[in-house]
A and B are shown apart, each in its own frame.
Chain A
Amino acid sequence: MKKGKKRDYAFGILIVLIALLILIAVFAPILAPNDPYNTDLMAAQAGPSAQYPLGTDSLGRCMLSRVLYGARLSVFSSLLITGIVFCIGVTIGSLCGYFGGIVDAILNKVITIMQAFPQIILAIAITGIMGIGIRNTIIALCMVLWVDYARLSRSFVFSVKGRNFIKAAKICGESDLKIIFSRIIPNIIYPLIVNASLGIASTIMEIAALSYLGVGVEEPQAEWGAMINLGRNYIQTDLKMVLIPGVAIFVTAAVFNLFGEKLRDRLQ
């Protein structure tokens, strides 16, 4: 009883933190002390001051404002990507695993082809065709990442499908869709949720890696990965340019991952 209460307490804190993150993202324009795109060359690479609480970057833009606006782009886009690929992936994977037969044979070929295709090449090629920018990066990553979930859930379905409770449900005459959505998915969803909660942070990283290779989100977008990418040339001379967005990503990763795990505990 005591243990359960403690857990709820932590869960509550996490929900507050996530709500806070989302609020920061939504109200970034109000919270930010400066325009994140306004440059001030005379104040470039300055330390913290009253005007720029966290200092400025190499173009003299306010680091605090940029990191706040970054919450918008980074958190929303990675939530969006993870959400999309989770739904698509789990649905396709479960259908594949459950029905088998010709549906599985075809979808599985598609999954295999997509999965066997080196992701980074695919992402680069897609942004190469569609152009650099946050929207195209989101599309490219969605096209690449859904297969992970599809494949994982397909294999999880296989390991659940033969269990007695599924057989029982079938004997009782439950419809296939009902079995999939109310019996199978709840049984395989937890490891997938943990995967997704890690995925939110690693999606931010994927965007950063694409930016590093010159095909992701580009300057001047206040996106955390792009900010780190801009800062890496200054790592020995102006550490805060990577440190500040780095901390932001770390906190986000921690919050979402802990949330994923606590959610899993509760759902159990």
Chain B
Amino acid sequence: MKRKWMAMFLAMMLGAAALTGCGNGSGEDSQGQGKSESEQSDQENENIVVVADTQAPTSLDLAQSWDSWYTSRWGITETLYMLDENLEPYPWLAESCEMKDDTTWEITLRDDVTFQNGKKMTAESVKACWERTAGINARFNEVLYIDTMTADGQKLTVTTTKAVPAFLNGLCEPLTGIIDVNDGGDPAAMPIGTGPFQAVSYEVKSECVVEKYADYWGGEPKADGAVIHIIGDTSTLTMAQQNGESDISVSMPGASMELFTDNSQYNVDGVAGSRGQVIYFNYGNPVLQELSVRQAISMIIDKDSYASIINKDASVTTTGLYPDFMAYGAEEGDGYQYDLEGAQTILEEAGIVDRDGNGIREFHGEDISLRLVTYSTKAELPLFCNEISSSAKKIGLDIQVEVYESVTEHQKTGDFDLMMISSTMCPTGDAQYFADITLKSGGSGNYGGYSNEKVDELIEQLDVEYDTEQRTELAKEIQKEVLADAGYIVIGHAKYYYVMGANVQGLHTNPSEYYLLNKDVYVE
């Protein structure tokens, strides 16, 4: 009886296998072979880099949403300027970019850049591309603030609607990347960029295949092509790297890192980026208007342990607000040190004590109970919040953690006492962005209503200052003021890192999250 069932089961499976095999056609089957065969074909002629990531764009059209970040990572599109490892812009598709006056820029493009269809990139093509992007994506207008564009040969003259000191940084944002919009093809499926790799196919949220563009202006790419697998689950991502199916993994969870410590097999390359874990205080709450309470909360966070133990070294400690590695990062000794006793002393001195002996300090006769709001899509945030809640109890503060799928609504309505979010603080390497939207009174990302006259004054200076050194000094000054005020807490900055097979060559992590595949990457 049992055997009969087994036989039927097997027959079913085989039948299904045969049918499905037929239905899929040869295109998928060529990749559907086992591991050994793909290795074999690698050895024969093809050098294919297999990348696995958990996140994916909705199309390959760089104008859509944040899809440009992916076309940039996958080596399809490039920008006029690029960010180096210190997030400083340097010329890439452009030779130079000169400021004529506060609102006029003259960009000179390289003469040797061709699109992947062989056509030359000119100022006219850049203009056409940006016009298209601006028409599709409202965010574009907040990156470059372009008013008019005049194209002449390789020279593009741009006027802006306001002074944009961070214009060069804006030219690094992948959204300002260049594709040939006069090609006639569909940029969503087959964008014609200038990068070392050309899109072959993209199955949305499943798989993207790119092949090298042999006439790439920077020289012929070393790899013949790449396959990018989009894997939704982090356990799957981990295992695919473990058994060698993927050469490079992006977004590996911190918990898996200890599986990749064997240097003979794996190479983990990571640098801290500008994505910070930021705590916002709600200044509408009288308790949080007390400097001593904010200072005490700043002191119960053992930033080093958060980064090394909870986040398994997937983030680094931040002394002040901006990433330590930036020119305007805080110096050692700035900010607040982990000191539970010190935190208690500060509260005692401010007269915030536990009179009724229930373990919780009172403020104007009422137990201090605060709601710490965060969201679940960044795995470390709820864990950090739990740790804060647990430590707060030790100094007599009650902090209740609330985790949501998204905190957008809380940001809008101010329905929180404390809020922790993960935010890219210097997306284009510039300090102004975070200062403008978060630190300034009334900034669009100043959800807790932080307001400090001195800080506002400094930010206004920063907004119109063009000298780099002066800007750095101003940013440092701003940071110092906010820290003295315990206005915000930044726990650390997430590392952006790749887990690679030891045989992957030519790849170094850049903190910007903009780049991945380049002409030098290949698999040995």
Contacts and interface: CB of A to CB of B under 8 A. Distances in A.
Contact of A132 (B238, B259, B310, B404): B404
A246 to B, nearest CB: 15
Contacts of B285: none
A76 interface: no
Contact of A219 (B256, B259, B386): B386
A58 B383 contact: yes
A218 B403 contact: yes
Nearest to B257: A237
Contact of A41 (B305, B376, B402): B305
Given A37-B389, A38-B390, A219 B404 contact: no
Interface residues of B, number: 29
Residue from B259, B379, B385, B387 having most chain A Cβ neighbours under 10 A: B387
Given A41-B387, A220-B386, A132 B255 contact: no
Interface stretch (A93-101, A170-178, A228-236): A228-236
A233 B310 CA distance: 13
Contacts of B505: none
B253 A237 contact: no
Contact of B255 (A39, A41, A220, A234): A234
Interface string A223-243: 000000000111111000000
Interface in B445-498: none
Residue from A38, A39, A58, A132 having most chain B Cβ neighbours under 10 A: A39
A223 B34 CA distance: 40
A233 B305 CA distance: 20
B374 to A, nearest CB: 9
B386 A37 contact: yes
Contacts of B234: 233
B235 A220 contact: no
A218 B390 contact: no
Contact of A233 (B235, B302, B402, B404): B235
B405 interface: yes
Contact of A218 (B259, B309, B376, B391): B376
A131 interface: yes
A152 B391 CA distance: 50
A232 B305 contact: no
Contact of B405 (A132, A220, A237): A132
Nearest to B302: A41
Contacts of B175: none
B354 to A, nearest CB: 18
Contacts of B235: 232-233, 235
A218 B404 CA distance: 8
B401 interface: yes
Given A58-B383, A237-B255, A132 B376 contact: yes
Nearest to B253: A233
A46 B404 CA distance: 29
A133 B375 CA distance: 12
Contacts of A214: 376-377, 405
B31 to A, nearest CB: 27
A20 B27 CA distance: 59
A237 B259 contact: yes
A68 interface: no
B378 to A, nearest CB: 11
B499 to A, nearest CB: 14
Contacts of B377: 214
Contacts of B401: 219-220
Interface in A82-140: 127-128, 131-133
Contacts of A39: 386-387, 390-391
Contacts of B258: 237
B429 interface: no
A236 B238 contact: yes
A220 B389 contact: yes
Interface in B387-426: 387, 389-391, 393, 401-405
A188 interface: no
Residue from B235, B383, B390 having most chain A Cβ neighbours under 10 A: B390
Contact of B403 (A219, A234, A235, A237): A219
Given A59-B310, A128-B405, A233 B383 contact: no
A215 interface: yes
B249 to A, nearest CB: 14
A233 B382 contact: no
Nearest to A216: B376
Nearest to A219: B382
Contacts of A59: 310, 383, 386-387, 390
A214 B259 CA distance: 25
22 contacts: A37-B389, A38-B390, A39-B387, A41-B302, A41-B305, A41-B387, A44-B310, A59-B386, A59-B387, A59-B390, A131-B404, A133-B403, A214-B377, A215-B405, A218-B376, A219-B386, A219-B401, A219-B403, A220-B385, A233-B255, A236-B238, A236-B256
Given A39-B390, A214-B377, 19 more contacts: A37-B386, A37-B389, A39-B391, A41-B387, A42-B305, A58-B383, A132-B403, A214-B376, A214-B405, A215-B405, A219-B376, A219-B382, A219-B386, A220-B386, A233-B235, A233-B253, A233-B255, A235-B235, A236-B256
Interface of A: 37-39, 41-42, 44, 58-59, 127-128, 131-133, 214-215, 218-220, 232-237
Interface of B: 234-235, 238, 253, 255-256, 258-259, 302, 305, 309-310, 376-377, 379, 382-383, 385-387, 389-391, 393, 401-405
